[in-house]
Amino acid sequence: MTNNLTVGADWVQEQMKRGEPIFFIEVRHAGDLDLAVMKVRGALRLDSDQAQKPDLNEIPKERNVVVYSTAPGDEPAAGLAQLLLNHGVKEVHVLSGGFKAYLSAGLPVEEIGSGRSMTRVRGL
Protein backbone atom coordinates (compact mmCIF):
# COMPACT_ATOMS: atom_id res chain seq x y z
CA MET A 1 0.00 0.00 0.00
CA THR A 2 1.10 3.59 -0.58
CA ASN A 3 1.89 4.63 2.99
CA ASN A 4 1.95 8.38 2.38
CA LEU A 5 -1.75 8.16 1.47
CA THR A 6 -2.70 6.24 4.60
CA VAL A 7 -4.73 7.91 7.34
CA GLY A 8 -6.27 6.50 10.49
CA ALA A 9 -9.77 6.80 11.85
CA ASP A 10 -8.45 9.43 14.29
CA TRP A 11 -7.45 11.65 11.32
CA VAL A 12 -10.92 11.21 9.80
CA GLN A 13 -12.53 12.06 13.13
CA GLU A 14 -10.41 15.22 13.46
CA GLN A 15 -11.35 16.35 9.94
CA MET A 16 -15.02 15.82 10.75
CA LYS A 17 -14.71 17.82 13.99
CA ARG A 18 -13.16 20.70 12.03
CA GLY A 19 -16.02 20.59 9.52
CA GLU A 20 -13.82 19.55 6.61
CA PRO A 21 -15.89 17.95 3.86
CA ILE A 22 -14.86 14.37 3.12
CA PHE A 23 -16.07 12.25 0.22
CA PHE A 24 -15.93 8.55 1.14
CA ILE A 25 -15.65 5.69 -1.33
CA GLU A 26 -16.21 2.11 -0.22
CA VAL A 27 -14.65 -0.69 -2.27
CA ARG A 28 -16.03 -4.19 -1.74
CA HIS A 29 -15.75 -7.50 -3.49
CA ALA A 30 -18.73 -7.74 -5.84
CA GLY A 31 -20.29 -10.62 -3.91
CA ASP A 32 -20.05 -8.74 -0.61
CA LEU A 33 -22.17 -5.78 -1.73
CA ASP A 34 -25.37 -7.73 -1.12
CA LEU A 35 -24.27 -8.81 2.36
CA ALA A 36 -23.46 -5.39 3.80
CA VAL A 37 -25.94 -3.78 6.16
CA MET A 38 -24.01 -0.55 6.89
CA LYS A 39 -21.61 1.87 5.26
CA VAL A 40 -19.97 5.17 6.05
CA ARG A 41 -22.69 7.80 5.92
CA GLY A 42 -22.90 9.17 2.37
CA ALA A 43 -20.21 6.87 0.94
CA LEU A 44 -20.16 5.98 -2.73
CA ARG A 45 -20.12 2.17 -2.93
CA LEU A 46 -18.13 0.47 -5.69
CA ASP A 47 -17.49 -3.18 -6.25
CA SER A 48 -13.95 -4.25 -7.11
CA ASP A 49 -14.71 -4.26 -10.85
CA GLN A 50 -16.17 -0.73 -10.76
CA ALA A 51 -13.13 0.44 -8.81
CA GLN A 52 -10.92 -0.51 -11.78
CA LYS A 53 -12.79 2.00 -13.99
CA PRO A 54 -14.71 4.40 -11.75
CA ASP A 55 -16.99 7.11 -13.12
CA LEU A 56 -14.70 10.03 -12.36
CA ASN A 57 -17.61 12.47 -12.72
CA GLU A 58 -19.02 11.08 -9.44
CA ILE A 59 -15.86 11.94 -7.50
CA PRO A 60 -15.25 15.56 -6.48
CA LYS A 61 -11.73 16.79 -7.14
CA GLU A 62 -12.01 19.71 -4.70
CA ARG A 63 -12.63 17.67 -1.51
CA ASN A 64 -10.70 15.23 0.58
CA VAL A 65 -11.46 11.75 -0.72
CA VAL A 66 -11.09 8.84 1.68
CA VAL A 67 -11.19 5.36 0.18
CA TYR A 68 -11.80 2.36 2.40
CA SER A 69 -12.46 -1.32 1.94
CA THR A 70 -13.44 -4.33 3.94
CA ALA A 71 -10.55 -6.43 2.62
CA PRO A 72 -7.60 -7.28 4.85
CA GLY A 73 -4.61 -5.08 4.05
CA ASP A 74 -6.68 -2.39 2.32
CA GLU A 75 -5.31 -3.35 -1.14
CA PRO A 76 -8.50 -2.57 -3.12
CA ALA A 77 -8.70 0.87 -1.50
CA ALA A 78 -5.02 1.58 -2.16
CA GLY A 79 -5.41 0.62 -5.82
CA LEU A 80 -8.36 2.95 -6.29
CA ALA A 81 -6.61 5.77 -4.42
CA GLN A 82 -3.61 5.54 -6.75
CA LEU A 83 -5.89 5.51 -9.79
CA LEU A 84 -7.68 8.64 -8.54
CA LEU A 85 -4.36 10.42 -7.99
CA ASN A 86 -3.35 9.54 -11.53
CA HIS A 87 -6.60 11.13 -12.77
CA GLY A 88 -6.11 14.45 -11.00
CA VAL A 89 -7.86 14.00 -7.65
CA LYS A 90 -5.44 15.87 -5.39
CA GLU A 91 -6.43 14.91 -1.84
CA VAL A 92 -6.84 11.12 -1.77
CA HIS A 93 -6.37 9.04 1.35
CA VAL A 94 -6.70 5.37 2.26
CA LEU A 95 -8.34 4.60 5.59
CA SER A 96 -6.03 2.21 7.42
CA GLY A 97 -8.03 -0.69 8.80
CA GLY A 98 -10.95 0.08 6.48
CA PHE A 99 -14.55 0.06 7.58
CA LYS A 100 -13.76 -1.88 10.74
CA ALA A 101 -11.48 0.91 11.99
CA TYR A 102 -14.06 3.54 11.09
CA LEU A 103 -16.80 1.63 12.90
CA SER A 104 -14.60 1.03 15.96
CA ALA A 105 -13.99 4.79 16.22
CA GLY A 106 -17.73 5.34 16.57
CA LEU A 107 -17.97 7.49 13.44
CA PRO A 108 -21.32 8.02 11.66
CA VAL A 109 -22.74 5.19 9.57
CA GLU A 110 -25.97 4.56 7.72
CA GLU A 111 -27.97 1.41 7.23
CA ILE A 112 -28.22 0.22 3.65
CA GLY A 113 -30.64 -2.64 4.07
CA SER A 114 -30.95 -5.93 5.81
CA GLY A 115 -28.37 -7.71 3.69
CA ARG A 116 -28.94 -10.86 1.72
CA SER A 117 -29.25 -13.96 3.81
CA MET A 118 -26.47 -16.45 3.36
CA THR A 119 -26.88 -20.15 2.87
CA ARG A 120 -23.89 -22.35 3.48
CA VAL A 121 -23.50 -25.22 1.04
CA ARG A 122 -21.43 -28.05 2.42
CA GLY A 123 -19.10 -30.15 0.36
CA LEU A 124 -18.35 -27.61 -2.39
Rounded CA-CA distance 99/9 in Å is 9
Q: Could you tell me if 60 and 23 are in contact, meaning their C-beta atoms sit under 8 angstroms apart?
A: yes
Contacts of 116 (CB under 8 A, 6+ apart): 34, 35
Query: What CATH number matches the domain at 3-111, 3.40.250.10, 3.30.70.1710, 1.20.120.1200, 3.40.50.720?
Result: 3.40.250.10
Mean pLDDT of 48-77: 88
pTM of the shown model: 0.83
What is the model's pLDDT at position 119? 44
d(CA 57, CA 120): 39
Residue 120, pLDDT > 80, answer no
